[in-house]
Structure 1
Amino acid sequence: MATLPDNRLQLRAMTAEDIAAVQALSKAEQWPHRQQDLAGMLELGTGTVAVMGGEIVASAMWWPCGERYATLGSVIVARTCRGAGLGRIITETVLDQIGDRNVLLNATDEGLPLYRKLGFNGVAEILQHQGAAFQVPLLPLDAGERIRPLGVADEQRVTELVEQATGLERDAVMEAVFGKGLGIVLDHDGAITGVAVFRRFGRGYVIGPVVAPDLHRAKALIAQWLGARSGEFTRLDIPGDVGLGDWLENLGLVRVGRVVTMVRGTAPVGHGSSRSFAIVSQSLG
């Protein structure tokens, strides 16, 4: 673990009582997290805060994805405390907690140099699209295919589908997503081959995860939500290589940001016939 740069600085576990202060750090970065969003994230994982003079000046969280992987996020250092190595210290502290797991994170351009020094390598990119004014035609499906509401009996199969698409164990994350959102599934003669979940997040709503067998069916799932919630401020975080960007732009969901997906260790590999077209969130992956 790194040495603290100031003997007035303390690192300790994040608690529910810290959420308001962490949300203030997030807001200063113009990140959209509500306190409810951060509280839900903390319930799924472990947080660390840095405190100086009784004030929280930095934060970081991580979430286990089984025994082999973890995701790291919400790494924030107050602007008044930058330049003293605090970002590295709190990140190294969290990495010590994670242990031998392979670690994934989505890095802003500002964070890239630090994460590279800590052994992370860029492997992909995530593009953030959002908007509130859009017109969406519904897309046709093949015979035997239909989009229907996700039911309780579907949850285990959907969790397996998401895990196959991402290569990550997602049981706890998906349980939380089911509890907070509404889902639709792509049903092909009784077999579930795709899913899209719509839930409250940040300034409005987010669609994610989205898993589908191909681009056309991913669009069909997304269009179902956009058509049903036209006028609602909606966000998607999509892998840069899935081919959704131009379509979303044409619908009115413009690209507003980009982060780099980085891995320390071995990147997870999806398997099965479906892939991920939108992630749960930039922090959770």
Structure 2
Amino acid sequence: MRQSLREAVRKEALKESKVTEPIAPASAPTSAQVRYRPLTADDLTAAHELSMAVKWPHRREDWEFALNLGAGVAAEDDSGVIGTALRWEFGAGHGALGMVIVSPEQQGRGIGRDLMTLTVDALAERTTFLNATPAGLPLYEKFGFKAIGSIHQHQGAGGAHPPVVALAPGERIRPLGARDPERLAALWSHAAGYDRAPVLEALLQVAEGVVLARDGEPIGFAIMRRFGRGHVIGPVVAPHAEGAKALISHWLGANEGKFTRIDVTGDSGLSDWLDELGLPKVDSVVTMARGETPRADGRGQVFAITNQALG
């Protein structure tokens, strides 16, 4: 019976990339009263309340953006939604999962394990990424996820005026143009090692972007949008650290005195610089992957991610 449930979930996920019928985890839930079903737009208010209960900063609009890009599972009992997990597909070979939350009052019942089982199975054989808090690390390791990096969360209203960063001759920061999105998606995908075009397309519907250009041609970019307590800068993609700093400084100047968050990669080398600018590091998480780690092609580097769920 358990194997048939697992296969049913896997086949449905492969067919539509979204579960459309009530589902059950491959292993029996700890409590028969817990039910699992697709997360829908009607659940966004309840999901937002869950994230507030665990002190995550997401707005309801942030949940809506994330769900519209992917699909999710809700755990519920007679009291309502008590757990969530979201997933996203990036091309045929990669995906991510996040927003795995269980109500504090319901933790310890195996609900998080069941949500993970359903989400991992739905992503099938894709290399899958997530960013893990220390509390979630043991559970993710049981599902075969291995550490491949880290993310440092910096935020604040900024204490110092952002500096003007000197760029190489021929390089400048300019507004994003109508012809840029396709080229920026390629830059990001090459730097990440997997398809980032759908995420960029969605971001540009709700965010602003600037381009780092060399002799007029894009070589990097940075996005800023509303998120959580204020604004978030990310992704930031550039061929070198000075280019990333120039892009970030542009947005810090535009948002000076307002709450701003940026999640930089552990190998970005930007944490000390951000601390000096009045955006202290407030948290770090472990980047994990299940499957073959993608390889960037050296044409650029991801210095900051979109957010910890979407990468």
Displacement, 1:272? 3.4
Q: Match of 1:56?
A: 81
Displacement, 1:269? 1.4
SS of 1:180 mapped into structure 2: coil
Q: Match of 2:96?
A: 71
Alignment RMSD (CA, Å): 0.9
Question: What is the one-letter code of the residue matched to 1:40?
Answer: F
Q: Match of 1:131?
A: 156
Question: What is the one-letter code of the residue matched to 1:112?
Answer: L
SS of 1:8 mapped into structure 2: coil
Given that residues 138 and 227 in structure 1 are in contact (C-alpha distance below 8 angstroms), is that contact kept between their aligned partners in structure 2? no
User: 1 CA distance for matches of 2:163 and 2:102?
Assistant: 43
Q: Match of 2:37?
A: 12
Given that residues 2 and 93 in structure 1 are in contact (C-alpha distance below 8 angstroms), is that contact kept between their aligned partners in structure 2? no
Cα distance per residue 1:212-247 (max 9 Å; x no partner): 111111101101111121011100001111100000
Q: Match of 1:269?
A: 295
User: 1 CA distance for matches of 2:202 and 2:27?
Assistant: 33
Cα distance per residue 1:156-185 (max 9 Å; x no partner): 000100001111211211111111111000
User: 2 CA distance for matches of 1:178 and 1:152?
Assistant: 11
Q: Determine which of 247, 259, 263 is the counterpart of 2:285.
A: 259
Query: 2:128 aligned with 1:103, yes or no?
Result: yes
Query: 2:194 aligned with 1:168, yes or no?
Result: yes
Q: Match of 1:87?
A: 112
After TM superposition, the structure 1 stretch with the greater mean CA deviation from structure 2, 208-217 or 132-141, is 132-141
Query: How many residue pairs get matched?
Result: 285
Q: Match of 1:210?
A: 236
Q: TM-score, normalised by structure 1?
A: 0.98
Q: Match of 1:148?
A: 174
- Unaligned residue ranges in structure 2 (runs of 5+): 1-25
User: 2 CA distance for matches of 1:248 and 1:73?
Assistant: 26
Q: Match of 1:47?
A: 72
User: 1 CA distance for matches of 2:252 and 2:299?
Assistant: 25
Cα distance per residue 1:228-277 (max 9 Å; x no partner): 21011100001111100000000000101111001111111111321000
User: 2 CA distance for matches of 1:280 and 1:168?
Assistant: 15
Cα distance per residue 1:130-189 (max 9 Å; x no partner): 010332111111221110001121000001000011112112111111111110001101
Q: Match of 2:4?
A: none
Q: Match of 2:211?
A: 185
Structure 1 segments (4+ residues) deviating >4 Å = none
Q: Match of 1:112?
A: 137
Q: TM-score, normalised by structure 2?
A: 0.90
Displacement, 1:54? 3.9
Displacement, 1:72? 0.5
Cα distance per residue 1:3-39 (max 9 Å; x no partner): 1111111100000010111111111111110000101
